[in-house]
């Protein structure tokens, strides 16, 4: 029936696309004219925010090694959270508006799904460097780390689950924002900032109004941060976060991540399908 050649196929396509897009993301993220500027961005920016929060705590008279430790881990994790949340949207909008390649990628057998994940994972990994810088700063500030070193088993359980959960949420944002104009570039940042306030990164959940506390408790990111605090500091957070047994914390994180991944690919595909239907995929709103 067919004029020539077999129709290629195979489950490895998605993995190839993911790796190829990760390589691209590495080239893009590392494309600073001078490496010193990239390093400064990865170091100075997170440390400046950390300094800001500590200054606020100091003014409030609640600065001690326990609160510094609380804020340091929250701030460190959030470097990764914001990068993963913003990654897919930035990748899709950049490809559409700046590089103008989205039509060519979309017209390949590869789905935009693994392509967006690959870009997001690299962004999050680079942000991991900033996270380490923040934790290092905490150690220099005298934050007592867990006796005997980090609980690597807990880190190994919590870190991938948390990362998966934020990448999943980032994918949903990407599918939504590709339907919008170029200025949607900053929308994930707004979401990321909101999540930052909700998930117990810089203050205990008890500070939040009651109903909002329930939202915060439903976010896997909240338990990701708490899990890492336990793994790295060896202590629990004050309030309801601290009362949760670690195995239950892991269960909540796992279930939350599973729910996100049950929903997020469908929402992403629905968003891309709508963009295709409306003609938003192959347009340029920047010029």
Partner 1 sequence: MSGSTSPAAVNATGIGRVFQAKGGPVTALDGIDLRIEPGELFGVLGPNGAGKSTLIKILSTLLLPSTGSASIFGLDVVTETARVRRIMNLVVGGDFSGYGLLTVREQLAMFAQFYGLPYREGMAKVDAQLASFGIDDIRDRKISALSTGQRQKLNFARSFLNDPWILFLDEPTIGLDVSAARDVRDRVRAFQAEQPGRTVLLTTHYMAEADEMCDRIAIVDYGRILAQGTPTELKRMVQKDALFIVGIDALPTAMSIDALRALPGVISVAARDADSSDPSGVGSPMLRLAIGLKEDAALGGVISALAAGGAHLQEISKSEPTLEEVFVQLVGRGISESDEVSNG
Contact positions vs partner 1 (CB under 8 A): 1-5, 7-10, 12-13, 16-17, 19-21, 23-24, 27-28, 31, 99-101, 103-110, 115, 276-279, 281-282
Closer by beta carbon to partner 1, 45 or else 276: 276
Closer by beta carbon to partner 1, 12 or else 147: 12
Give the shortest CB-186-to-partner 1 separation in angstroms.
22
Q: Which two tokens stand for residue 253?
A: 């994180």
CA gap 157, 171 in Å, rounded: 22
Instruction: Give just the sign of the alpha carbon dihedral 245, 246, 250, 256.
Output: positive
Closer by beta carbon to partner 1, 5 or else 61: 5
Closer by beta carbon to partner 1, 19 or else 56: 19
CB 206 within 8 A of CB 212: no
CA gap 241, 243 in Å, rounded: 6
Closer by beta carbon to partner 1, 99 or else 193: 99
CB 69 within 8 A of CB 233: yes
CB 72 within 8 A of CB 143: yes
| Residue 279 Ramachandran class (φ > 0 left, ψ -120 to 50 alpha, else beta) | left
Give the shortest CB-23-to-partner 1 separation in angstroms.
7
Closer by beta carbon to partner 1, 42 or else 102: 102
Burial pattern 91-106, b for ≥16 Cβ within 10 A else e, equals: bbbbbbbeeeebeebb
Give the shortest CB-110-to-partner 1 separation in angstroms.
4
Give the shortest CB-107-to-partner 1 separation in angstroms.
5
Question: In a 10 Å sphere around its CB, with 0-12 CB exposed, 13-18 middle and 19+ buried, how is residue 37 labelled?
Answer: exposed
CB 79 within 8 A of CB 127: yes
């Amino acid at each position: 029936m067919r004029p020539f050649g077999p129709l290629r196929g195979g489950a490895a396509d998605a993995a190839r696309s993911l790796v190829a897009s990760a390589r691209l993301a590495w080239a893009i993220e590392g494309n600073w004219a001078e490496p010193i500027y990239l390093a400064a961005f990865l170091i100075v920016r997170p440390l400046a925010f950390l300094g800001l929060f500590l200054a606020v705590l100091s003014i409030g008279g609640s600065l001690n090694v326990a609160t510094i430790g609380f804020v340091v881990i929250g701030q460190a994790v959030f470097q990764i959270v914001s990068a993963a949340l913003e990654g897919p949207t930035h990748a899709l909008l950049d490809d559409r508006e700046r590089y103008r390649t989205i039509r060519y990628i979309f017209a390949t057998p590869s789905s935009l799904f693994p392509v967006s994940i690959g870009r997001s994972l690299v962004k999050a990994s680079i942000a991991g460097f900033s996270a380490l810088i923040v934790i290092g700063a905490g150690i220099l500030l005298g934050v007592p780390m867990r006796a005997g070193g980090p609980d690597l088993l807990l880190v190994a359980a919590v870190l991938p689950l948390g990362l998966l959960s934020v990448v999943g949420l980032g994918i949903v944002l990407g599918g939504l924002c590709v339907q919008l104009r170029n200025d949607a570039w900053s929308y994930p940042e707004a979401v990321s900032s909101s999540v930052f306030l909700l998930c117990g990164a810089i203050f205990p959940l008890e500070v939040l109004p009651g109903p909002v506390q329930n939202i915060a408790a439903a976010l896997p990111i909240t338990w990701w941060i708490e899990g890492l605090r336990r793994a790295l500091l060896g202590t629990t957070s004050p309030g309801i976060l601290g009362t949760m047994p670690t195995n239950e914390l892991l269960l909540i994180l796992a279930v939350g991540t599973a729910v996100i991944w049950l929903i997020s690919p469908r929402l992403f595909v629905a968003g891309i399908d709508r963009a295709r239907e409306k003609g938003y995929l192959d347009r340029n709103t920047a010029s």
